[in-house]
Amino acid sequence: MAKLRILLPLLLLLVLASAWWRARLGEPLTPVGQPTDSNAVNISAAAEKSVPEQPQPKEVQVEKTKLPEDPSPDPEPESKSVSANQPGLTQQALGAPAEVFYTEGTKTRDGTGKYYMGREIAQVMGHQAINWLERDNREDEEAPSRAIAALDLEPTDVIADIGAGSGYYTFRIAPLVPRGKVMAVDIQPEMIAFLETKEKRLGLDNVEAHLGDIDDTRLAPESIDAALMVDAYHEFSHPREMMQSLFRALKPGGRIILLEYRAEDPTVPIKPLHKMTEAQARKEMETVGLQWQVTHSFLPWQHLMVFVKP
C-alpha cells in the first residue's frame, strides 16, 4: 500500500508531463481520424461555390447571338442551323463544318421563321397586292418621284429593278435611260405577266421583264450599272445569295440603291418585319463586299441607301 501511495502520484505526474510536452510540439491531444462522408460533401459543396459559373458550350452561344433581339414576347425557341449553300439542310445533316448564315427561330406575324444576321425574313408579298403597289396616294405617302430623281442615272445606264412587282418604279425610270434599259426582275410569274402587258400597252422598248430565282437574279456578270430594290430586299428568302448574285451582275463601280421603310421610326405605318434599320441594312450589304456610300433621309417613310461595288 505504501508503495502504491508513492507510485500513483508519480504516474499522474508522468502523464501530465507527457501531455504538456506533446502540446508544446503541436500534436493534437485527441486524434481527428478520416473525414466522414458528411465532411466530404461539405468540402465539395464549398469547393463548388468557389468555382465560377461555367460558360455555356460555344455552339449554343453562337446560336443565341444569331437570334433576333426582340422578335416577340414568345419564349426563346431552340434554333437550328441552316447552311446557305444547301438551304433546308441542317449543318449536322451535311456532316461538314459549313459556314452558317441562316438560323431557324420563332416565326412571328408576317415572318418566315428564318433569320439572317439577327433579322427575321418577311413573307413575300403576293401578286394579289398589285393594287396596293399601284395605289393613287403612293406619291403622297412615299414620294417615289423624289427617290427616282435621286437615282442620278445616265441615259445609257442599265439598271435592274429587283423585286419590281407591278413595275411602279420600273416604268417611271424607263424614260430616264432612253439608250439604256431597265431589267425588271421578279420571282412571281404573275408579276412578270403584268410587267409585259404594261410594257406593250405603254409602247416601251427599253424594259425587260425578267424572271429570277429566289436565290439568283440570273443576270449576266458585269451587265448592270445599278440595281434598285424598293421595299423588296427584306422579303428575299435568300438575301445572301441574292446579294452575291447582284454583286456579280454589277459592273465595277456599279451601285446598289436600297429603299427600305425606316425601322427606327415607329410612326412609319408599316408592319415591323417589312421595315429595316440602317445599321442592319449596312451590315447585310457590307458582308458581301459592298461599300456603303450614303444614306438619304429626305423620303417620308424610307431610307434611301447607296452602296458601291469596289
| Residues found near ligand SAM in the complex (CB under 6 A) | 124-125, 133, 162-165, 168-169, 185-188, 191, 212, 214, 230-232, 235-236, 242
**Least separation in angstroms between CB 85 and ligand SAM:** 17
**Least separation in angstroms between CB 125 and ligand SAM:** 4
How far apart, in whole angstroms, are the C-alpha atoms of residue 30 and residue 21? 14
SS3 101: strand
Instruction: Write out the three cell numbers for 45.
Output: 459543396
**Least separation in angstroms between CB 68 and ligand SAM:** 20
CB closer to ligand SAM out of 63 and 257:
257
Are 244 and 288 in contact, with CB atoms under 8 Å apart?
yes
**Least separation in angstroms between CB 306 and ligand SAM:** 17
Instruction: Write out the three cell numbers for 149.
Output: 430623281
**Least separation in angstroms between CB 295 and ligand SAM:** 18
CA dist list (Å): 7 to 18, 20, 192? 16, 20, 122
CB closer to ligand SAM out of 35 and 189:
189
Percentages of the chain per state (helix, strand, coil), in multiples of 5: 35, 25, 40
**Least separation in angstroms between CB 91 and ligand SAM:** 23
CA dist list (Å): 235 to 73, 105, 137, 229, 242? 22, 16, 23, 11, 11
How far apart, in whole angstroms, are the C-alpha atoms of residue 119 and residue 142? 24
| Residue 282 CB-half CA count within 13 A | 10
CB closer to ligand SAM out of 130 and 290:
130
CB closer to ligand SAM out of 63 and 229:
229
Residue 73 backbone phi and psi in degrees, to 5: -75, 0
**Least separation in angstroms between CB 253 and ligand SAM:** 23
**Least separation in angstroms between CB 280 and ligand SAM:** 18
Looking at residue 149, what DSSP letter applies? Answer: H
CB closer to ligand SAM out of 209 and 242:
242
Judging by DSSP bridges, how do beta strands 181-186 and 207-211 pair with one another?
A: parallel
Residue 225 backbone phi and psi in degrees, to 5: -85, -30
**Least separation in angstroms between CB 162 and ligand SAM:** 5
CB closer to ligand SAM out of 103 and 237:
237
Residues 6+ positions from 220 with CB-CB distance below 8 Å: 249
Q: What ranges in the chain are assigned the alpha helix state H?
A: 2-25, 37-50, 58-65, 91-94, 130-133, 138-142, 144-149, 170-173, 189-202, 239-249, 278-286
